[in-house]
Amino acid sequence: MHDNLSFNITKEGTEKDFEIIFQNYRLLVYRIAFSYTADSFEAENITQDVFVKVYYKLGSFQGKSKFSTWIYRITINTCHDYARRKKMINIEFTDDIDRYSVASDKLYNEKEIQEEVQKAIKRLPEKLRGMVILRYIEQLSCKEIASIFNCSVSSVDVNLFRARKLLKNFLTHLI
């Protein structure tokens, strides 16, 4: 994605380095934060928090993972901190609604289906919620998600399977 940025990250990172990072990653960070909150004001606050952390931790980036993975990890952790503080998360689910077939007597319009899916995602445990957002909204690979959550790819696969199973149970009235 943005990992081919032409700057060196050093303990003496410059303001220019930070500005490049901010310009290249702010929309990504905001999009993830908005997915967690469904509130533009809160998403802006989270985005600011993330970049304050990035600024102060820039020198600690060791290059063992891709830079974008490091940014994702900080963003997800900041969103989880937000969730713990607020005890309530609203997810804006923007995945393709066409995946969900509606085969019941009640006809749902696309907006109603999206609202039901949002409610179902809110019910997922925090870790599963984060993985669903990264996989299906941000379209990251399971390998990238594993790196962000410091777990194995098979663990991500299992957690995504569990999340899909829970979502299916939560959404049975639509199927």
Same domain, 102 and 84: no
Report how far residue 56's alpha carbon sits from residue 47's, in angstroms, rounded to the nearest whole number: 14
Least confident of 3-12, 37-46, 71-80: 3-12
Give Cα 20 distance to the centre of its chain.
22
Per 3-state DSSP, what percentage of the chain is helix, strand, and coil (rounded to 5)? 70, 0, 30
DSSP, residue by residue, 112-128:
HHHHHHHHHHHTS-HHH
Same domain, 5 and 73: yes
Same domain, 9 and 86: yes
Last residue within a domain, chosen from 90, 114, 142: 90
Same domain, 163 and 140: yes
DSSP, residue by residue, 109-166:
-HHHHHHHHHHHHHTS-HHHHHHHIIIIIS---HHHHHHHHTS-HHHHHHHHHHHHHH
Q: Report the CATH number that the domain containing residue 8 is assigned in CATH.
A: 1.10.1740.10
More confident residue, 35 or 13: 35
Q: What is the pLDDT of residues 129-160, one digit of tens each?
A: 889 989 988 889 999 999 999 999 999 999 99
Q: What is the pLDDT of residues 82-125, one digit of tens each?
A: 877 765 433 444 343 344 444 444 555 667 777 788 788 878 88
Least confident of 8-17, 62-71, 90-99, 122-131: 90-99
Looking at residue 36, its pLDDT comes to: 80
38: left (phi over 0), alpha (psi -120 to 50) or beta: left
Same domain, 85 and 167: no
Count: domains in the chain: 2
Q: What is the pLDDT of residues 37-59, one digit of tens each?
A: 778 888 999 999 999 999 888 87
| Residue 175: band (very low, low, confident or very high) from pLDDT cuts 50, 70, 90 | low
Range of the domain at 149: 95-175
Q: Report the CATH number that the domain containing residue 138 is assigned in CATH.
A: 1.10.10.10
Report pTM: 0.62
Angle subtended at Cα 61 by Cα 48 and Cα 34, rounded to the nearest 5 degrees = 30
Looking at residue 12, its pLDDT comes to: 53
Give Cα 165 distance to the centre of its chain.
19
